[in-house]
Amino acid sequence: MDTGDKNADNLAIRQQWESAYKTAPADPANPGYVLEVGGWCTTSTGTCTRVLGTVMQVNISRGEGASMAYHTHGNAGKQAVGQPDGVNYEAHPSDQDVINQGERKPPSYIIGPNTIYRLERGGWDDNGNRQVKFTCLNRWTTVNACPPQ
């Protein structure tokens, strides 16, 4: 895949992201749903950690020398557990994803059904809040554009 993103185009790392998405274990408490999977990757070694979360989040602590974080959104499009009808899980970054990225220096990647979102900590806005930059990569093509939200 030639997305133009050095991390997403690193075949050793990309394979681990794809494996995390495709092999996310089912949630026994919520049939038809999978657990989020995430971790930290190191570009120099091409290795990633793998941590299991819940249907809606995964907590990953940064590894020494980590180049980036990643996690899956394997329930995108499904009814959100414990939420009113019509509230679905999304492939794009959640509010908590944005908050977490504002506290991290390395980029973070979110692997959804058809997209990979790259989040990067940006500068500060006029109110003193940390900004987060988003880039969306199509998971299956080389066109780098997010679908409409």
What DSSP string describes 41-71?
A: EETTTTEE--EE--SS----PPPTT--EEEE
pTM flag (> 0.85): yes
Cα–Cα distance between 111 and 93 in angstroms, integer? 10
Cα–Cα distance between 120 and 113 in angstroms, integer? 21
pLDDT of residue 64: 74
Task: Tokens 């793998």: give the residue.
Answer: 50
Tell me the sheet residues that pair with 19. Answer: none
**pLDDT per residue over 34-83, tens digit each?**
999 999 999 888 899 999 999 999 998 777 788 899 999 999 999 999 99
Phi, psi dihedral angles at 79 (to 5 degrees): -55, 130
As given in the structure block, the two tokens for residue 39 are 């971790």
| C-alpha R_g of the chain | 15
